[in-house]
Structure 1
Amino acid sequence: MQRSQATSAEDSVVNLLVTAGRLTRLAGAISGDDLPRAVLRALAVLDEHGALRVSEFARIDRCSQPAATALIGRLVADGYASRRKDPEDSRAVVVELTPAGRDRLHHARRAFGTALATRLSEFDTERLARMETDLNELLGALKKAAPRH
């Protein structure tokens, strides 16, 4: 009996992940914001984690270091991120969001929110707030269990 409960919990988590991915892709498709998905993801990683070494960014984003370097180069060229020497290791580079990068991320997220919210007339504000609270609690629990993220 306990095994079926674990499988059921695993199935639910898988379904949540699949749905979250689909929700994000749908928001991007209907929002009208033209920010490439990789750039949006990179901005979000830097927003969540703060200043990172390129190697740490690559680990979190699950991309190769050359891909991370190229993506970060694009962010820097667009004015969305800045690079500086790591004070702990002068051979390493630390990357962080600029105010322009934070503003661009905010703009994209608002466009996503607006695009989805206008299509949710059957969902009242309280229902959406409960869903937000539940997802934030889930994220908090997972981060607590995997602090290296």
Structure 2
Amino acid sequence: MATMQSVTVKDVAPQDFIAHYAKFLKRTGRVHVPRWVDIVKTATHKELPPINPDWLYVRIAVLARKVYLRHGDGVECYRKVFGGNRRDGVRPNHFHIANGGLIRYALKQLTALKVIETDAVKGGRRITSTGRRDLDRIAKQVYNLKHGIKN
């Protein structure tokens, strides 16, 4: 008799998990997509808006994974994570942080889905038990798909 292997988000490749979770979020239809999603830039150092039409789902999936792995971080920490170098022509590049409104919006969507909650003790956000269960379930599906295991 084979034992069931416990698979968490840490056990699967990040890009595979993020792609599957973003597809799951889009398929469920529970994420509210605002009107400005196709014209907004994600940071001041960016020259163009994102090319991927589903970038908001991807951003929400990335933030869900980051909160899962390291709870207690707030919007300011994630602004640094999504930041990058601003190209200033002939002048040297300088690091700029990302826009906080988009990150805050994505975190609010995750809160509405009951995936994360505000941590009253440590500050920042933390994963809920419901969110941990859902993310581990998606990770298990990714793991089974990658290794050819049928349920």
Q: Which is greater in Rg?
A: 1
TM-score, length of structure 1 as denominator length:
0.49
The higher-RCO structure (CA 8 Å, 6+ apart) is 2
Which has the larger share of helix? 1
TM-score, normalised with respect to structure 2: 0.49
